[in-house]
Structure 1
């Protein structure tokens, strides 16, 4: 495999046991049975892509510290190994996490709004705050979606720039922070960030080339129906 292409493969975690009414963010719950099946199917799909694209696999899979991402990465690794590929390590990083809501982590939207309403220091939350790319909750440790995307874009850049040879590097993380990272990398336009989502455990591939040039290589974005509230 002499191909010099550098391919960053982004995988949103599989379906998981999400608390109803709570922003996805950093919930600590595991994959559902469907999510586990999705992750295994993704591993088989990536094995096929490695063959059809004639590229080598980076033996380190990168993922966030959320259980659902680690489980997805683990299932992918098991299937890749079954196809004869070497996966030496699953490397977890907080830099691949979803947007952080700080001290409001894992509360429901209604609970967060009640917290803010009861705090005399803050005005009521604006309509649509959850999906506003630039809005940051006025709570300690919170970040905006754009800030989360910048964080994820930075680790994608750092990992890909450190690769001396071409091939596929797999990153398992979260839909919203991946979408906003794609904007920071120049792969998506600003308007597209709200229009698109990612399928559970279906790879999206970007080509990276020197001088920080990124382009969509393979895989499909999920088109979000108009007025649908983002779940990731």
Structure 2
């Protein structure tokens, strides 16, 4: 395998507020999430050794604690295995923003809209609707979040590589934003977005072939169970 390889890594399990879209929640990883991140670091070390890849010395994370903490734990594990890794943070990798409704439950968000005469009731299934944006200050649609992450990834591979290829760059973020970005990059169809989630702290590898061509080259999407509520 040659060229740029980007590992999309969803954060580990965290103390997510019940029945609340993940978005910009500020809570930390659980013990399970920390263990998932350590396992992730061990797996990445094996990938590097088995494939002879170089590790990009700079990993990237969203500003959310759960993503940064996952990145930090992976970095500690890789450092113990003899690799050098620092972490940069950017808001461009954040999950879909809900604006002024951040960290409210689904019921609370819908009540806010019902109580405001300026707004219509959100449509059924609005949480997973790629094009629906809450009519609240600062809110994004899932499609907007995916486009933001996809643009950031395109900028990443446009930069000169800091080491000989093949080069593996670790990117820590969020399941929904990553899935919708993968669609924008031509990796997932719209139908596949609805059918997949992402495993916690398991790398999903995308290879960049040049000319804005991306292919999945490792890892696996998590099949979404029927009737599963999308909160990521």
Aligned-pair CA distance for 1:163 = 3.3
Instruction: Give the conservation status (yes or no) of the 8 Å contact 2:146–2:180.
Output: yes
After superposing the two structures, state which structure 1 stretch, 164-173 or 10-19, moved more.
Answer: 164-173
Q: In the alignment, what sits opposite 1:62?
A: 60
Distance 2:114 2:184 in 1: 33
Task: Say yes or no: does 1:176 pair with 2:176.
Answer: yes
Output one character per residue of 1:77-122: Cα deviation in whole Å (capped at 9) or x when no partner: 01111111111x2000000000000000000000000000000011
SS in 2 for 1:226: coil
Output one character per residue of 1:2-42: Cα deviation in whole Å (capped at 9) or x when no partner: x7421000000000001111101110000000000000110
Distance 2:128 2:82 in 1: 41
Q: In the alignment, what sits opposite 1:27?
A: 25
Q: Which aligned pairs between 1:66-215 and structure 2 lie closer than 5 A?
A: 66-87=64-85, 89-164=86-161, 165-166=164-165, 167-215=167-215
Instruction: Give the conservation status (yes or no) of the 8 Å contact 2:78–2:84.
Output: yes
Q: In the alignment, what sits opposite 2:43?
A: 45
Gaps of 5+ in 2: none
Distance 1:5 1:50 in 2: 14
Distance 1:17 1:180 in 2: 24
SS in 2 for 1:14: coil
Aligned-pair CA distance for 1:54 = 1.2
SS in 2 for 1:231: coil
TM-score normalised per structure 1: 0.97
Gaps of 5+ in 1: none
Aligned-pair CA distance for 1:225 = 1.4
Aligned-pair CA distance for 1:123 = 1.3
Task: Say yes or no: does 1:217 pair with 2:214.
Answer: no
Aligned-pair CA distance for 1:231 = 2.6
Aligned-pair CA distance for 1:227 = 2.3
Distance 2:137 2:112 in 1: 13
Distance 1:124 1:189 in 2: 28
TM-score normalised per structure 2: 0.97
Distance 2:176 2:28 in 1: 19
SS in 2 for 1:8: strand
SS in 1 for 2:9: strand
